[in-house]
Amino acid sequence: MHKIVLITGATSGFGEATARQFAAAGHRLIITGRRKERLEALKQDLKTDVLPLVFDVQDKDAVFAAIASLPAEWKDIDILVNNAGLALGRDHFNEANLDDWETMLDTNVKGLLYVSKAVVPLMIARQNGHIINLGSIAGKEVYEKGNVYCASKYAVDAISKSIRIDLLQHRIKVTVIHPGAADTEFSKVRFKGDMDQAQKIYEGYTPLRAEDVADTIFYCANLPAHVCINEVNMTCLAQANSFYYNRSGNA
Ligand code: NDP
Ligand code: 8X3
């Protein structure tokens, strides 16, 4: 049966790959992000019913207005993929930029909360739904210079566990996916366009691709109604955890 899937941060990386994966299976998609032109281009590319919604997840009023504005035929959201997020900077605590911290917390934590709070009533009304959150290996183990990005992803982990409990009686599944290093626009954003620094992150090994994460999201979303994968920790072959990488070139 075809479902309605709302994906935040569909203009790039995991979100875009997830949109392509669900579209290929014929599902109906609400794709969101701030870059309107990318959403329009993606809509043109996808051979399914697509509704682009442009909003910044940090803007509480814009989030609630966007969900409230959904036409009746788009309100029955079956799956919410809370993917929009970012890291900004990689600095020791004492040197890090306060504005970067605010943006990470406002996007990765508060943005995810706003979108979930706006969508959950629609799921409760139907006693059906699946929320899939993008955490990170950074939300399982802190690493040097990861401070507030790690904290934001620890929060995603805690929020996922907590929502799963609170929505238990409403038959809503909650899954959190914790990927390790993946080659998307993530590092370009983190290092503010410094491509030398961004590319160094992936030197000497094959990182996860956006499609690997999209495949995992798709798998979790397509299990029998009584099955919920609560949490997935996934890395490329060359990464053991937040600290240990095999950069020898053989993985
Ligand atoms: P990308 O930079 O490729 O994509 C990030 C997406 O988030 C974009 O579509 C962007 O859209 C959207 N986004 C960012 N800020 C906002 C905002 N304020 N409002 C709305 N949308 C926003 O990164 P990834 O695909 O790699 O990252 C996706 C998620 O996965 C993030 O939560 C990230 O923390 C997490 N993650 C990434 C890993 C990696 O190594 N790549 C590993 C583990 C987790 P736009 O700019 O158009 O608004
Ligand atoms: C992104 C992965 O290791 O850069 O969440 O924090 S890492």
Torsion of CA 76, 117, 99, 54, to 10 degrees: 20
pLDDT tens-digit readout, 3-17: 999 999 999 999 999
Quick check: is 121 in a domain? Answer: yes
Quick check: is 172 in a domain? Answer: yes
Q: Which of 149, 154, 202, 245 is catalytic?
A: 149
What angle (nearest 5°) sits at the alpha carbon of residue 223, between those of residues 221 and 227? 105
State the chain's mean pLDDT as an integer.
98
What angle (nearest 5°) sits at the alpha carbon of residue 101, between those of residues 159 and 113? 25
Site to probe by mutation for ligand 1, drawn from 21, 32, 34, 55 as the one with most ligand atoms within 8 Å of Cβ, is 34
Quick check: is 90 in a domain? Answer: yes
CA of 233 to the centre of ligand 2 (A): 12
Quick check: 1 pLDDT over 90?
no
Distance (Å) of CA 22 to CA 19, 47, 52, 101, 136: 5, 10, 15, 33, 22
Domain containing 61 — which CATH number? 3.40.50.720
Domain that holds residue 128: 4-234
To the question of pTM greater than 0.75 for the whole model, the response is: yes
In the chain, how many domains are there? 1
149 tagged catalytic: yes
pLDDT tens-digit readout, 109-148: 999 999 999 999 999 999 999 999 999 999 999 999 999 9
Quick check: is 241 in a domain? Answer: no
